């Protein structure tokens, strides 16, 4: 079974490889997505380290002059996706792209790739990639932590990678959608609308996009005035781990000049994450930086603290209690949102379904702090979901049914790199 699934996973990655870069799935997502490529590179590296590096290198080709690495690279226009390059209006950049970023997983991937093979050719490639990663991390720590609080904000739900998480509902409700006008979604022509964000969500997504386009994606204007600016435990924890991995890479290269800056980011985040601790809930949640209000539900990103190297008992004990409670409510973990919360929907995208990439990151963190039983439960659930429903985009935590796109690249990648 495992060998058959290995072969299918490899075939999926190769079929979604459009020549040095990989699309998440055919039809629904015809471009290169940022954190998808970072996971995909880990999958490729299980059988072709060179191809893993290439995925990161093509992703970084889209880097903007200010260091930002966009969430989508539109290498060729494809009318089957909305909103495409003309809607984003990002002119004069390295490649046509969206205007904001996505969770910065790439440095963590590069560390994994480099640990697999440290021969001279990969040292050289690391030398080229390192300053680009450093510039991207610096961008996140300035543009999206403008006041130096030690937490990373997202200016758009898409920037978090967790598009319709219930925690965005409150902050996004303040977005004025009166200027959005008519538009035609394409996603619901590929996938059942019940598995996708609602129209109210899309109206808000487009209104925030318009704000970004009108200020030419200026980081300071966004930090001061964007209608949506919410600190996210997902991006903050992924960034913190990526900073630790970047630090290890700096040591490996002897890049001593970069060390103090990266160490400062890590120290700031280790303090800053206290802001994301919702004391009423006893969990890390979002924090709306406009209103000062915390998200009110536990999400799968609440469990990423160990992945970021955070394991203080005062955070860990309540977090693990939530984890056990939530896991007792589902057949397959980890649900992306608390099944006891009224906003939970088992099939709707980031409002309940299980995502393989989150499972991989949560389990990795748990294993690293010695929570091996919980880590193993997550891995076994992931295996069971893929055996039952294939390499789906995401899965219903109750029925185990696959949802969204199929033959999905990152689900195949985490199978190869971790679950199998």
Q: Which of residues 75-94 bind ligand 9YW (CB under 6 A)?
A: none
- Min dist CB 187 to ligand 9YW, Å, is 6
In the residue annotation, 163 being an active-site residue is answered as yes
Q: Does 39 bind ligand 9YW (CB under 6 A)?
A: no
Query: Segment 164-193, which members bind ligand 9YW (CB under 6 A)?
Result: 187
Which position among 159, 163, 203, 396 is part of the footprint of ligand 9YW (CB under 6 A)?
163
Of residues 142 and 188, the one with the C-beta less far from ligand 9YW: 188
Distances (CA, A) of 277 to 53, 273, 396: 36, 7, 28
By CB neighbour count within 10 A (0-12 exposed, 13-18 middle, 19+ buried), where does 218 fall? middle
36 binds ligand 9YW (CB under 6 A): yes
139 binds ligand 9YW (CB under 6 A): no
Q: What does DSSP say about strands 402-403 and 283-284: parallel, antiparallel, or unpaired?
A: unpaired
Which of 21, 33, 114, 228 lies at the binding interface for ligand 9YW (CB under 6 A)? 33
Shortest approach of ligand 9YW to residue 254 CB, angstroms?
34
**360 is a contact residue toward ligand 9YW (CB under 6 A):** no
Query: At closest approach, how far in Å is the CB of 405 from ligand 9YW?
Result: 8
Query: Which DSSP string do the residues of 206-246 spell out, in sequence order?
Result: HHHHHHHHHTTT-HHHHHHH-S--EE-HHHHHHHHHHHHHH
Specify the residue, 67 or 103, whose C-beta has the smaller distance to ligand 9YW.
103
To which H or E segment does residue 403 belong?
Answer: strand 402-403
Contact pick of 24, 295, 318, 356 for ligand 9YW (by CB under 6 A)? 24
CA distance 61 to 37: 12
**Residue that has been written with the tokens 């429903």 in this structure:** 389
Residue 418 interacts with ligand 9YW (CB under 6 A): yes or no: no
C-beta of 212: minimal distance to ligand 9YW in Å? 16
- How far, in whole angstroms, is CA 310 from its chain's centroid? 19
Judged by CB under 6 A, does residue 29 bind ligand 9YW?
yes
Report the run of H or E that residue 126 belongs to, with start and end.
helix 120-143
Cis peptide before 274 (omega within 30 of 0): no
Asked if 167 and 287 touch (Cβ cutoff 8 Å), the reply is: no
Least distance (Å) between residue 197 CB and ligand 9YW: 7
**Closer residue to ligand 9YW in complex, CB, 22/63:** 22
- The span of 10-18, 27-35, 282-290, 292-300 binding ligand 9YW (CB under 6 A) equals 27-35
Grouping H, G, I as helix, E, B as strand and the rest as coil, residue 288 is strand
Report the alpha-carbon distance of residue 366 to residue 388 in Å, rounded: 25
Asked if 161 is part of the footprint of ligand 9YW (rule: CB under 6 A), the reply reads: yes
Active-site residue, 317 included:
no
Rounded to a whole number of angstroms, the minimum distance from the CB of residue 160 to ligand 9YW is: 8
∠ at Cα 62 (58, 63), nearest 5°?
115
Q: Using alpha carbons, select from 304, 294, 370 the residue that is nearest to residue 334.
A: 304
Taken in order 149, 155, 161, 166, the sign of the CA dihedral is positive
Catalytic pick from 145, 163, 187, 203?
163
User: Are the C-beta atoms of residues 417 and 46 closer than 8 Å to each other?
Assistant: yes
Residues at the interface with ligand 9YW (CB under 6 A):
24, 29, 33, 35-36, 161, 163, 187
Q: What is the set of active-site residues?
A: 163, 393
């Amino acid at each position: 079974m495992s060998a058959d699934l290995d072969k299918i996973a490899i075939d999926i990655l190769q079929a979604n490889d459009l020549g040095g870069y990989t699309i998440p799935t055919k039809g629904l997502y015809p471009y290169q997505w940022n954190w998808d490529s970072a996971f995909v590179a880990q999958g490729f590296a299980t059988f072709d380290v060179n191809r893993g590096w290439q995925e990161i290198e093509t992703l970084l080709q889209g880097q903007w002059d200010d260091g930002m690495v966009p969430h989508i690279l539109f290498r060729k226009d494809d009318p089957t996706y909305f909103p495409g390059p003309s809607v984003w209006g990002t002119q004069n950049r390295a490649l046509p792209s969206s205007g904001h970023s996505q969770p910065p997983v790439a440095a963590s991937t590069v560390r994994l790739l480099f640990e697999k093979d440290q021969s001279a050719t990969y040292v050289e490639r690391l030398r080229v990639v390192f300053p680009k990663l450093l510039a991207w991390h610096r961008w996140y720590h300035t543009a999206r932590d403008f006041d130096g609080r030690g937490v990373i904000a997202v200016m758009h739900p898409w920037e978090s990678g967790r598009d319709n998480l219930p925690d965005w509902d409150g902050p996004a409700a303040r977005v004025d959608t009166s200027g959005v006008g008519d538009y035609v979604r394409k996603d619901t022509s590929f996938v059942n609308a019940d598995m996708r964000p609602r129209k109210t969500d899309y109206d808000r997504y487009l209104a925030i996009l318009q704000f970004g386009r009108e200020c030419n994606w200026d980081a300071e204007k966004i930090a001061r005035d964007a209608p949506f600016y919410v600190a996210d435990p997902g991006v903050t924890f992924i960034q913190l781990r990526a900073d630790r991995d970047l630090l290890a890479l700096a040591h490996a290269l002897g890049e001593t000049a970069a060390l103090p800056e990266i160490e400062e980011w890590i120290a700031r985040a280790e303090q800053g994450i206290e802001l994301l601790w919702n004391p009423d809930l006893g969990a890390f949640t979002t924090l709306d930086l406009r209103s000062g209000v915390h998200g009110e539900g536990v999400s799968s990103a609440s469990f990423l603290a160990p992945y970021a190297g955070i394991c203080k008992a005062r955070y860990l004990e309540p977090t693990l209690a939530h984890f056990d409670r939530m896991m007792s409510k589902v057949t397959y973990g980890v649900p992306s949102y608390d099944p006891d919360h009224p906003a939970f929907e088992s099939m709707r995208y980031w409002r309940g379904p299980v995502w393989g990439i989150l499972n991989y990151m949560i389990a990795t963190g748990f294993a690293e702090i010695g929570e091996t039983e919980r880590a193993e439960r997550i891995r076994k659930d992931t295996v069971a979901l893929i055996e039952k429903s294939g390499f789906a985009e995401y899965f219903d935590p109750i029925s185990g049914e696959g949802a969204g796109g199929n033959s999905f690249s990152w689900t195949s990648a985490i199978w190869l790199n971790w679950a199998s």
